């Protein structure tokens, strides 16, 4: 048995998402790039590479990882590049997408050898959480003003527009794409390619993938553009668990268990967005609040129902633990960092990374 805590990536489950992505690419003509900000565990890139067109990035490090570990097409995007990194970014990328006209002009020369694009912000988004809303008031994410973009069209050949956020609703996607067409139509007509970003949950069970494919194909035909998607969460959803062990039990008006992990250190987004973790099947007569072992009072995975009473030493699988987890894990409280393991297609499990005291020590100085 592998020592907990560890993330367990199940390739069979990952493959289901990959097959949907491949189907969408085939039926819509869109290309799909893995958003490394969400998931960058390169040990499974060998599997993903056959179903996706490449990667997109948010920094020099991600651009380099995408180029070196995934290969195929590498899109570089960043909210802002520094002078000292631009040459290296360009050396790893097929396309570079600038967040502002200011950055595009600043790095016009060093980026002249590759395809360039600009991020547009349509001012509409599916996000209900302002922390994650690219269209929030005064947003720094992309250019808004058609009149300012027109004069730099000779420097760029495409656009990136990321305004979907955990969007499971095709009709909402469709309406917002309509808004984008209305607002930016004249620019789109001059583009060769348009990336519609991530945040579209098209690999979900009930998503109308054929309607989505048809809409993308129609958009591509209307403006004569190559469409790209940048799925992060949609690529890896429901593929991974965080395996933890009960270390202690207590009763403080509710039955609590403390596990050998921490939501703050190992599944930070749940804390940021105030969401509960998931346990499956979450059924039975024994309800427990599952808590992390950091000092944070609110380090709580959630309240779940179990078929049997939990004992110290029992294991719990926290579901859906791939997206924005391994890329965000941290050493808060020095809590043991989860190892990373993979369940292969034949069912065998191998540990691909373990973290030690030295990793903790070396992350500081």
Ligand X SMILES: Cc1ncc(COP(=O)(O)O)c(C=O)c1O
> What residue numbers does the annotated binding site for substrate cover?
233, 269
- Kindly indicate which of the ranges 12-20, 211-219, 227-235, 343-351 contains the residues binding ligand X, using the contact rule CB under 6 A: 227-235
CB of 330 to ligand X, least distance (A): 19
In three-state secondary structure terms, 132 is: helix
The DSSP 8-state label assigned to residue 200 in this structure reads: B
Check binding of 118 to ligand X (CB under 6 A).
Answer: no
Under rule CB under 6 A, how many of the chain's residues touch ligand X? 12
Our measurement of the distance from residue 319's CA atom to the centroid of its chain's CA atoms, rounded to an integer in Å, reads 16
297 and 256 Cβ atoms separated by less than 8 Å: no
Other CB atoms within a 10 A radius of the CB of residue 79 amount to 14
Q: Is 262 helix (H, G, I), strand (E, B) or coil?
A: coil
DSSP state of 338: P
Taking CB under 6 A as the criterion, which residues in 29-68 touch ligand X? 35, 37-38
Stretch binding ligand X (CB under 6 A), from 15-23, 64-72, 225-233, 331-339: 225-233
Strands (E), the chain: 6-10, 31-35, 54-56, 73-78, 95-98, 115-119, 158-160, 193-195, 226-229, 240-251, 255-259, 278-279, 286-291, 300-306, 315-319, 339-343, 349-353
What are the distances in angstroms from CA 27 to CA 48, 213, 214, 262? 19, 6, 8, 42
Which of 162, 238, 293, 343 contacts ligand X by CB under 6 A?
162
Closer residue to ligand X, CB minimum distance, 192 or 269: 269
Question: Residues 260, 261, 267, CA angle at the centre, nearest 5°?
Answer: 165
Closer by beta carbon to ligand X, 213 or else 234: 234
Helix (H) or strand (E) holding 171: helix 170-188
Among 66, 122, 158, 231, binds ligand X (CB under 6 A): 231
CB of 6 to ligand X, least distance (A): 22
Cβ proximity to ligand X: between 162 and 336 the closer is 162
The nearest distance, CB 205 to ligand X, in angstroms, is 17
The least CB distance from residue 223 to ligand X, in Å, is 20
Encoded one letter per residue, x for contact with ligand X by CB under 6 A and - for no contact, window 181-210 reads ----------------xxx-----------
Phi, psi of 171, rounded to the nearest 5 degrees: -65, -35
Question: With the C-alpha atoms ordered 131, 133, 138, 140, is the resulting torsion angle positive or negative?
Answer: positive
CB of 59 to ligand X, least distance (A): 12
Which is closer to ligand X, CB of 38 or CB of 270? 38
Site for ligand X (CB under 6 A): which residue of 54, 66, 232, 338?
232
Structure tokens at 175: 């309406």
**How far from chain centre, in Å, is Cα 113?**
29
**CB of 201 or CB of 266, closer to ligand X:** 201
Q: How far is the CB of 234 from ligand X (least distance, A)?
A: 5
Identify which range of 66-74, 232-240, 258-266, 307-315 contacts ligand X by CB under 6 A: 232-240
| Least CB distance to ligand X at residue 165 (A) | 6
Tokens of 317: 């699988």
Which residue ranges make up the site for ligand X (CB under 6 A)?
35, 37-38, 162, 197-199, 230-234
């Amino acid at each position: 048995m592998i020592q907990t805590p560890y993330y367990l990536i199940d390739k069979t489950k990952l493959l289901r998402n990959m097959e949907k992505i491949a189907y969408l690419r085939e039926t819509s003509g869109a290309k799909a790039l893995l958003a490394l900000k969400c998931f960058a565990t390169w040990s499974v890139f060998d599997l993903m590479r056959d179903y996706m067109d490449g990667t997109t990035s948010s920094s020099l490090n991600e651009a380099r990882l995408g180029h070196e570990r995934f290969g195929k097409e590498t899109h570089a995007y960043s909210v802002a590049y520094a002078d000292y990194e631009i040459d290296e970014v360009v050396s790893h990328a097929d396309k570079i997408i600038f967040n502002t006209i200011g950055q595009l002009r600043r790095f016009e020369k060093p980026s002249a050898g590759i395809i360039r694009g600009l991020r547009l912000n349509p001012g509409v988004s599916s996000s209900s959480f302002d922390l994650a809303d690219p269209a929030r008031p005064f947003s720094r994410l992309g250019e808004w003003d058609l009149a300012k973009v027109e004069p730099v069209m000779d420097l760029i050949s495409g656009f990136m527009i990321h305004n979907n956020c955990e969007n499971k609703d095709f009709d909402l996607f469709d309406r917002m794409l309509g808004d984008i067409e209305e607002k930016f139509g004249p620019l789109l007509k001059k583009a060769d390619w348009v990336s519609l970003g991530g945040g579209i949950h098209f690999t979900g069970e009930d998503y109308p993938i054929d309607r989505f494919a048809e809409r993308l194909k129609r958009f591509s035909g209307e403006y004569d553009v190559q469409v790209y998607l940048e799925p992060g969460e949609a690529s890896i959803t429901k593929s991974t668990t965080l395996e933890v062990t009960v270390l202690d039990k207590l009763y403080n008006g509710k039955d609590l268990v403390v596990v050998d992990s921490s939501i703050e250190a190992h599944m930070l987004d749940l804390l940021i967005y105030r969401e509960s973790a998931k346990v499956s099947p979450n059924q039975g007569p024994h309800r427990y609040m599952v808590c992390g072992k950091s000092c944070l009072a609110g380090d709580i995975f959630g309240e779940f129902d179990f078929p049997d009473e939990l004992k110290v030493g029992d294991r719990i699988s926290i579901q859906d633990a791939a997206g924005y987890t391994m890329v965000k894990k941290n050493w808060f409280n020095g809590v043991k960092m989860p190892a990373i393991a993979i369940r292969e297609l034949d069912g065998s499990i191998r540990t691909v990374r373990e973290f030690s005291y030295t990793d903790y020590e070396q992350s500081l100085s």
